[in-house]
């Protein structure tokens, strides 16, 4: 029995797996927080503060998550209306929030008090962004952009009718230069130092724009509109490249670090989160989220990623810490409990590494490792096959309705020429069970070949029993229908190839 090859279960619905260094890197992130909120996650801010804090807005509540403590350290719920956007200042001392009633609120996180409340908008404000430590931009659904001075509590600059539709995203470019995007399909670059209300440059897209993002090189920016992610050049009004990355609207964009490279992360209503290289503008990694993604952001160091869904689900993932040399040495010197509890073994060996010294030895050029021969242990279907109990094996598989096992057994027994032997002695009850399974699965192209082969053998050896159970006309009609579908599929495949 040493030469017996165990039955290999057929893998169905196998998805292609791309195993490369970058996929392993993103898959190594651990979930450190998962929380269900009562309302949708509207905004997340994490990428612009040096203390690696994450601010999350849901309803009229804002939560501050500390990546050092891996827990929510502050909950702010004094807001009267729903928070639509927010941003932490670079030192994490101030938090700016905008609301559906048009309020722009500046809050001190140490004292949990409101420092400033700007009530200059009449419609909801969906985007705020710090220009520096003392100034903040805000853009509302009325198409107006404003720059506020926080210490003096004044409006420094205002651009009315900057857009003809709702402004959904803004991003500070240089000192008092602002990039804004709207549902009017325009991206505009404004210089708020100038007295003119006209934009320096305008960029036209084909769809309403949900989000924009300026790349670190300050020469390019990214926009997300409908199902497309687009790369632009500040110096030209035409796009450089456009990716059709999603099946539904992309709602959020952010930047993160992959070693010394930059990656763009996109979140969409089709549950997809995708990572895009900034140099070649290709998708390098993707994952499927539990619900439509409404907001996401990554911490400044790239070690934390926060994702929020429209069902109120919040998840924060953190990169697993890599093992250092001290940890590895401690593991090698580890002594199991069963060795510690035996005084006789403790006298004979000094540590677990010495006891298992052969495991740690490496082969030299002239060494030869003698292969160890172990007796195979059989269980389940292998135990029946090795005992030539073919009938019991195939009946057991049909009873358990394990399609992958059934296909593997049919293939194995056909190669042995034992499929007819396995089926000829089945009783009427087992025959009915097998026929029901065959007729159920026969219409599926993945199983039709094997199922028709089994049906052909059954008709050849047990035709009279089949006629007692089923009307042969019904079986004939179903087989004829399946054959017709197969012919049409073959013709269609040829047309596609042409």
pLDDT per residue as tens digits for the range 305-354: 999 999 999 999 998 765 444 443 444 444 555 555 555 555 554 555 55
pLDDT of residue 48: 80
Q: Are residues 408 and 260 located together in one domain of the fold?
A: no
Is position 336 within any domain?
A: no
**CA-to-CA distance for 479 and 487, rounded, in angstroms?**
12
137 lies in the same domain as 258: yes
CA distance 254 to 225: 14
Considering its fold, how many domains does the chain have in total?
2
Asked whether residue 300 is domain-assigned, the answer is yes
> How far is residue 82's CA from residue 87's CA, in Å, rounded to a whole number?
15
| Residues 68 and 140 reside in one and the same domain | yes
Its domain, for residue 115, covers: 21-319
Which one is predicted more confidently, 134 or 439?
A: 134
Let me know whether 314 and 400 are in one domain: no
Separation of CA 360 from chain center? 38
Are 278 and 174 part of one and the same domain? yes
Whether 62 and 197 share a structural domain:
yes
- Those residues with Cβ within 8 angstroms of residue 122's Cβ, 6 or more apart along the chain or in another chain: 102, 140, 142
Query: Does residue 373 lie in a domain region?
Result: no
Please count the other Cβ atoms lying within 10 Å of the Cβ belonging to residue 229. 25
pLDDT > 70 in the chain, percent: 79
Q: Is the pLDDT of residue 376 over 80?
A: no
- Residue 241's closest CA among 251, 229, 255? 229
Is 482 strand, coil or helix? helix
**384 SS3 class:** helix
Which domain-ending residue is among 276, 303, 319?
319
Say if residue 412 is in the same domain as residue 292: no
Average pLDDT over every residue of 417-440: 82
Strand ranges for 269-369 from DSSP E:
272-277, 283-288, 293-298, 304-309, 313-319
Provide the angle, in degrees to the nearest 10, between the axes of the packed helices 390-400 and 403-416. Answer: 160
Residues 264 and 155 placed together within one structural domain of the fold: yes
Is residue 327 domain-resident? no
pLDDT for res 423: 84
Residues 6 or more apart whose Cβ sits within 8 Å of residue 485: 443
Question: Which of 268, 298, 319 is the C-terminal boundary of a domain?
Answer: 319
Residue 194: its H or E element: none
What is the rounded average pLDDT of the residues 24-30?
Answer: 90
Q: At what angle do helices 390-400 and 428-441 cross, to 10 degrees?
A: 50
Whether residue 417 is found in the same domain as residue 274: no
Same domain flag for 201 and 310: yes
Considering the domain architecture, whether residues 164 and 283 belong to the same structural domain is answered as yes
Beta strand pairing status for 177-182 and 167-172?
Answer: antiparallel
Evaluate if pTM is beyond 0.75: no
Asked if residue 149 and residue 58 are part of one domain, the reply reads yes
303: in domain: yes
Q: Whole-angstrom Cα distance, residue 335 to residue 284? A: 42
Return the DSSP state at 166: -
Q: Is the pLDDT of residue 14 over 50?
A: no
Decide which of 319, 340, 366 is a domain's last residue: 319
Residue 423 is assigned to a structural domain of this protein: yes
What are the Cα distances from residue 334, in Å, to 323, 324, 355? 16, 16, 11
Q: How far is it, in rounded angstroms, from Cα 221 to Cα 239?
A: 10
In this prediction, residue 435 has a pLDDT band, given cuts at 50, 70 and 90, of confident
pLDDT in tens, 185-219: 999 999 998 889 999 999 999 999 999 999 998 89
CB 371 within 8 A of CB 2: no
Task: Evaluate whether residue 357 is within a structural domain.
Answer: no
pLDDT at 142: 92
CATH number of the domain at 387, please.
Answer: 1.25.40
Residue 344 has a pLDDT of 55
pLDDT of the residue at 2:
58
The reply to whether 92 falls in a domain is yes
Q: CATH no. for residue 240?
A: 2.130.10.10
Rank 134-138, 238-242, 366-370, 405-409 by mean pLDDT and report only the highest: 134-138
């Amino acid at each position: 029995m040493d030469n017996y090859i165990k039955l290999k279960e057929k893998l169905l619905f196998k998805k292609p797996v791309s195993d490369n260094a970058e996929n392993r890197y993103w898959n190594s992130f651990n979930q450190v927080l998962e929380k269900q909120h009562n309302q949708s996650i509207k905004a997340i801010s994490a990428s612009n503060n040096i203390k690696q804090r994450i601010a999350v807005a849901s309803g009229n509540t804002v939560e501050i998550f500390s990546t050092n403590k891996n827990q929510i350290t502050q909950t702010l719920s004094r807001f009267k209306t729903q928070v639509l956007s927010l941003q932490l200042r670079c030192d994490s001392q101030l938090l700016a929030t905008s609301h559906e009633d048009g309020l722009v609120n500046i809050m001190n996180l140490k004292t949990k008090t409101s420092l400033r409340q700007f009530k200059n908008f009449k419609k909801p404000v969906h985007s705020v962004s710090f220009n520096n430590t003392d100034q903040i931009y805000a853009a509302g659904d009325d198409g107006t952009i404003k720059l506020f001075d926080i210490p003096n509590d004044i409006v420094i600059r205002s651009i009315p009718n900057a857009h003809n539709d709702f402004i959904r995203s803004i991003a500070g470019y240089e000192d008092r230069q602002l990039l804004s995007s709207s549902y009017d399909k325009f991206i505009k670059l404004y210089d708020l130092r100038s007295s003119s209300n006209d934009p320096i440059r305008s960029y036209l897209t084909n769809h309403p724009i949900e989000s924009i993002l300026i790349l670190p090189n300050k020469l390019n920016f990214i926009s997300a509109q409908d199902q497309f992610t687009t790369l632009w050049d500040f110096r030209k009004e035409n796009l450089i490249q456009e990716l059709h990355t999603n099946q539904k609207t992309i709602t959020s964009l952010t930047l993160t670090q992959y070693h010394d490279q930059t990656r763009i992360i996109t979140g969409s209503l089709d549950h997809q989160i995708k990572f895009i290289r900034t140099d070649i503008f290709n998708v390098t990694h993707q994952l499927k989220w539990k619900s439509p993604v409404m907001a996401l952001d990554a911490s400044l160091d790239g070690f934390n990623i926060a994702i929020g869904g429209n069902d109120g689900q919040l998840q924060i993932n953190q990169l697993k810490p890599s093992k250092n040399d001290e940890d590895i040495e401690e593991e090698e010197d580890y002594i199991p409990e069963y060795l510690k509890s035996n005084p006789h073994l403790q006298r004979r060996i000094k540590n677990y590494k010495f006891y298992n010294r052969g495991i740690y030895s490496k082969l030299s050029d002239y060494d030869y490792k003698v292969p160890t021969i172990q007796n195979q242990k059989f269980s389940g279907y292998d135990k029946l096959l090795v005992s030539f109990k073919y009938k019991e094996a195939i009946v057991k598989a049909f009873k358990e309705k394990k399609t992958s096992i059934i296909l593997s057994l049919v293939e194995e027994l056909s190669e042995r020429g034992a499929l007819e032997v396995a089926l000829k002695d089945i009783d009427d009850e087992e025959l009915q069970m097998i026929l029901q399974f065959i007729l159920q699965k026969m219409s599926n192209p993945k199983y039709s070949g094997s199922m028709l082969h089994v049906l052909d053998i059954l008709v050849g050896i047990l035709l009279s029993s089949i006629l007692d159970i089923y009307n042969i006309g019904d079986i004939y009609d179903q087989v004829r229908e399946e054959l017709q579908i197969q012919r049409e599929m073959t013709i269609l495949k040829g047309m596609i190839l042409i």
